[in-house]
Amino acid sequence: MSNLLSVDTALERMLKDFQPLSPEEITLDEALGRVLSSDIVSPVNIPAFANASMDGFAVRAEETTSAQTEFPLSLPISMDIPAGTFPEKSLSPGTVARIMTGAPIPDGANAVIPVELTDAFWTINAQETLPESVALKQAARRGDNIRLIGEDIQIGQVVISADTVLRAEEIGVLASIGRGRLLVYRRPRVAIVSTGDELVDIHDQLQRGQIYDSNSYALAALVESYGGTCVRLPIARDTVSDVRAAFLSALEHDPDIIISSAGVSVGAFDVVRTVINGLGRVDFWKINVRPGKPLAYGRVGEVPYFGLPGNPVSAMVTFDLFVRPAICRLAGRSLDVPTIMATTGEDIYSDGRRSYLRVRLIHTDGEYIAHLTGTQSSGALTSMVKADGLLVVPEDVKFVPAGTQLSVRKLRTF
């Protein structure tokens, strides 16, 4: 195995070629899943004014100390403050103001008593005639049920930091401060080429000896899930002319990365290597990893190129290990992968390469137990469907007894 690059060395060498892409401006409607390229500073306070956190009556708390359930305190209603209006005068001493959730607190008031703690009957639209007075059944404390100016966000505050992946939560915050346009990193463009005489597209009829091209669809989905955009090229046959035409077609799409699957195993690599060497270069080939040893990295023209194995599990695992970090680096995303420690549920045999084995995770008595999903064949794509994570067996380890603690790269959240 000494002639094989380690996973860590290969990844370090690859990542030197990738830096975040230049920013582009988008609208807030387009922001889901995008990555901010700069901090967002709020131009406003949220709330912009002190307001009621529930329907009720704005009061001076010190004037309600005698109110209790047995002996309600009756006070006149001097104001009505619906949401969307702003009181033009202060609350008169010895009176209360009917107020809706979100409506501004009038000067002079310092608390809100919920309508449920009064004898008021309040319809949903509050269009009934304003009563002359209301009976308060509980005293208020200063600040009760009032949202203060800037309680959530203050002017000049960094509300969302650069490199944040925007979710619904962040988009809501951006809308709340009136931010309609944003600078985000451009989404990496990835061209995907499948090679192989045995492959047919899913829309075609299978003939004897043929298989459907699953890799390009799975890889395209992975590209999209990590913030990239992709174009899938037609299947290239195992000839120099066909593979060359496919890579030239890929270059026409101005990609940031080109991926091919298949054509990099020991017996098939000559065609792809011949084409790549003619159009660019192969920097290295073969990694000390299982599944996925036959992995190539280089350039097609000036575009970084990943030659992934043809077996579907190998293609997905090597994508996770090597292509995902490159796409994330270009997109301004974190390269970190959620990992946990888990205890092996059975004896495991390996071949001395660093192995990434598909496992189910069962949480028992405060720890995770990792069970193999069954066959670890690199052609068994359903093993990825069943897997919660990839159990990492270190290099030069050929036997792992049950009960051993190992790291697991999580494939889904729990």
Do 311 and 228 have their domain in common?
yes
In the predicted structure, residue 108 carries a pLDDT above the cut 50: yes
Each residue of 65-103: b (16+ CB within 10 Å) or e? Answer: eebeeeebbebebbbebeeeeebeeebeeebbbbbbebb
Same domain, 363 and 233: no
Boundary residue ending a domain (331, 365, 390): 331
Domain harbouring 402, CATH code? 2.40.340.10
Q: Average the pLDDT over 354-380 and give the result.
A: 94
- 225 and 198, same structural domain? yes
Q: pLDDT grade, residue 266 (50/70/90)? A: low
- The rounded distance, in Å, linking the Cα atoms of 131 and 118 is 12
Task: Indicate if 390 and 277 belong to the same structural domain.
Answer: no
- Residue 357: half-sphere exposure toward Cβ, Cα within 13 Å: 29
At residue 101, the pLDDT reads 96
Distance, first Cα to last Cα, the chain: 36
**3-class DSSP state for residue 192?**
strand
- Are 197 and 289 members of one domain? yes
Residue 100 lies inside a defined structural domain of this protein: yes
Q: Are residues 308 and 245 located together in one domain of the fold?
A: yes
Beta strands in 210-366 (DSSP E): 211-212, 229-232, 257-261, 280-285, 289-290, 296-300, 303-308, 339-344, 348-349, 354-364
Residue 16 forms part of a structural domain: yes
Residue bearing tokens 């790269």: 409
- With 0-12 / 13-18 / 19 or more C-beta atoms within 10 angstroms meaning exposed / middle / buried, residue 191 is buried
pLDDT digits (tens, 9 = 90+) for 150-195: 999 999 999 999 999 999 999 999 999 999 999 999 999 999 999 9
The verdict on 82 and 139 lying in the same domain is yes
Is residue 123's pLDDT more than 70? no
Domain co-membership, 254 together with 288: yes
Is residue 172 assigned to a domain? yes
Residues 105 and 202 occupy one common structural domain = no
Please check the confidence at residue 278 and state whether its pLDDT lies above 60: yes
Answer with the one of 331, 355, 370 that is the final residue of a domain.
331
Helices (H), 90-138: none
Mean model confidence pLDDT for the chain:
93
Residues 200 and 312 in one domain: yes
Give the pLDDT score at 1: 44
pLDDT grade, residue 414 (50/70/90)? very low
205-221 pLDDT tens trace: 999 999 999 999 999 99
Domain final residue pick, 136, 168, 185: 185
Rounded to the nearest 5°, which phi and psi values hold at 102? 90, -10
Decide if 1 is inside a domain.
no
Residue 227 has φ and ψ, to the nearest 5°, of 95, 5
Q: Domain of 140: which CATH number?
A: 2.170.190.11
Is residue 2 one of the residues assigned to a domain? no
pLDDT value at residue 128: 66
pLDDT bracket for residue 22 (50, 70, 90): very high
Q: In whole angstroms, what is the distance from residue 333 CA to residue 280 CA?
A: 28
CATH number at residue 34: 3.90.105.10
| Whether 214 and 327 share a structural domain | yes
Same domain, yes or no: 252 and 385? no
Print the domain residue range for 172.
23-46+153-185
> What's the total number of domains in the chain?
4
* pLDDT score of 231 more than 50: yes
> Structure pTM?
0.86
Counting residues of the chain whose pLDDT is more than 90, the rounded percentage is 87
| 310: CATH | 3.40.980.10
Q: How confident is the model at residue 267 (pLDDT cuts 50, 70, 90)?
A: low
**Tokens describing residue 153:** 């966000």
